[in-house]
Amino acid sequence: MNHPVAVIGAGPFGLSTAAHLRARGIPVRAFGEPMVSWRAHMPAGMLLKSTPAASNIDAPQRGHTLGDYCAAAGIRRLVTDEDIIPVETFVAYGEWFQQKLVPDLERVRVVSVDRRGAGGFELKLDSGEQFTARAVVVATGLSGLSYLPQELAAAAPDGPAPTAAVSHSSQHHDLTRFAGKDLIVVGAGQSALETAALAAEAGARVRVVARGRGAVAFGAPPWEQPRLRPESPFGRAWSLYAISYYPHPYRYLPAAARHFLVRRILGPLGAWWLRDRFEGAVKVREVSRIVRAGAPGGRPMLAVQTLGGRTEELSADHVIAATGYRVDIAAMDFLGHELRTQLAVSRGTPKLGAGYRSSVPGLYFTGLPAAASYGPVMRFVCGTEFASPRLARHLAAAHG
Ligand SMILES: Cc1cc2nc3c(=O)[nH]c(=O)nc-3n(C[C@H](O)[C@H](O)[C@H](O)COP(=O)(O)OP(=O)(O)OC[C@H]3O[C@@H](n4cnc5c(N)ncnc54)[C@H](O)[C@@H]3O)c2cc1C
């Protein structure tokens, strides 16, 4: 069968997977906008939380690390844990990686994927083309998976948007639009805290609304990391070491434990270098929970339960929900209805076996949708090191 393998997605995971498949001599057609999540759905001026050692897109050949890119581009090399990576540098690195290793990337959307009779898949592109693939790798990352909690959704009846009362953090790139405005950012993860700091630096009056006492916290700088624990891309700790280098046994844990750990390990914590920019510039409102939200007269209002149990109302010119992403097969509407109903899922996420294969032969998932099977490392760029060679090896053996 001479049909190519289709790789859907051109973020770090899609590019890395396509590079590994090509290196095995497998014909590949790769689709997507290179690095678009980083270029358009994260704030300008953002700095990466991950260290240079944890920000390499895995390649089958030497010479394609972030450090290699810096050397080739003639910019200061980012190597130690104290070197902080601007998002613009990381986008340029991803584009350089794409041009070198996936030069024939097709910048079109895959509109639908359906199973094709005896074997393989039928794909439709938004260019109008239709073709057959012997296997499909879904590497669509964060696309379409932004999560808005129910209680906030009521304030955005037509969906979150920068022009509505409530938006999602993924809908912002330029935060200067909030200069002189009152802004509430909901959340306590790095995305919430960095969005808040950048908006404050752009001249907004910013409050972060976070659930629980001590919800806003920052990690320890590299020089304060405990020396007696093993090193990992995320810091020194046994748990981080295990999930970084041994994600394989993860999928044998009970489902409840896997889903819990994906949310908890590497959970909400600001980067060590953000603390000084955040404290003093952003107000923090710790609450027990957000009870409901509305937008009377177009101005957002949050009814919150305080830590003391009272109900209070907070209002602002705009609310940004930095409330993360949730994998849900139902939201991946390019996967045909029949395919979605055939897929074995657990709480909306595909159940994956060895080599990142799903229950549908020839259909693979990597990156964020693989996190419930292979652990939290799949939410981060450094997960490509574990995932891409294994996926490519399995696919080559089964469909090569
Ligand atoms: C604010 C923020 C900060 C982050 N900081 C870090 C960090 O410092 N370090 C780190 O390791 N991780 C970080 N992450 C996580 C990071 O986003 C992911 O690790 C990474 O982007 C996942 O890569 P990916 O290739 O799976 O998906 P993405 O980068 O989301 O790429 C998705 C790709 O899929 C394509 N696509 C989607 N649908 C289709 C379709 N139907 N047809 C064709 N193409 C399609 C898109 O065009 C895009 O190319 C951060 C996330 C956020 C939100």
| Residue 352: predicted pLDDT | 95
Kindly list the structural domains of the chain, giving each domain's residue range(s) and its CATH number in brackets, ordered by start. Answer: 5-144+326-399 (3.50.50.60), 150-219+269-321 (3.50.50.60)
Q: How far apart are CA 66 and CA 8, in angstroms?
A: 23
Please state the rounded mean pLDDT for residues 316-332. Answer: 95
Cα(221) to ligand 1 centroid in Å equals 26
Mean pLDDT of the chain: 92
Atom of ligand 1 nearest to the CA of 170: 53
Contacts of 332-337 with CB under 8 Å at 24 or more apart are: 332/138, 332/140, 332/144, 332/369, 333/144, 334/8, 334/109, 334/110, 334/111, 334/112, 334/113, 334/140, 335/112, 335/113, 335/138, 336/112, 336/113, 336/114, 336/115
| Residue 266: predicted pLDDT | 64
| Residue 236: predicted pLDDT | 72
Please state the pTM of the whole predicted model. 0.94
Q: How far apart are CA 232 and CA 235, in angstroms?
A: 5
| Residue 1: predicted pLDDT | 57
Please state the rounded mean pLDDT for residues 184-201. Answer: 97
Q: Diameter of the chain by CA atoms?
A: 66
Give nearest CA residue, ligand 1 atom 50: 380
| Residue 120: predicted pLDDT | 93
Under the banding of pLDDT at 50, 70 and 90, the label for residue 242 is: confident
State pLDDT tens for residues 162-189. 999 999 999 999 999 999 999 999 999 9
Residues with CB under 6 Å of ligand 1 are: 8-14, 31-33, 36-37, 42, 48-50, 55, 109-110, 139-143, 191, 334, 367-368, 379-381
Cα angle, residue 241 at apex, residues 378 and 254 outer, rounded to 5°: 60
Helix H, strand E, coil C: the string for 68-101 is HHHHHHCCCCCCCCCCCCEHHHHHHHHHHHHHHH
Q: How far apart are CA 282 and CA 203, in angstroms?
A: 11
State pLDDT tens for residues 217-237. 998 888 887 776 777 767 777
pLDDT at 250 over 80: no
Cα(317) to ligand 1 centroid in Å equals 29
State pLDDT tens for residues 203-219. 999 999 999 998 899 98
Cα(12) to ligand 1 centroid in Å equals 7
pLDDT at 37 over 60: yes
Under the banding of pLDDT at 50, 70 and 90, the label for residue 327 is: very high
Cα(52) to ligand 1 centroid in Å equals 17
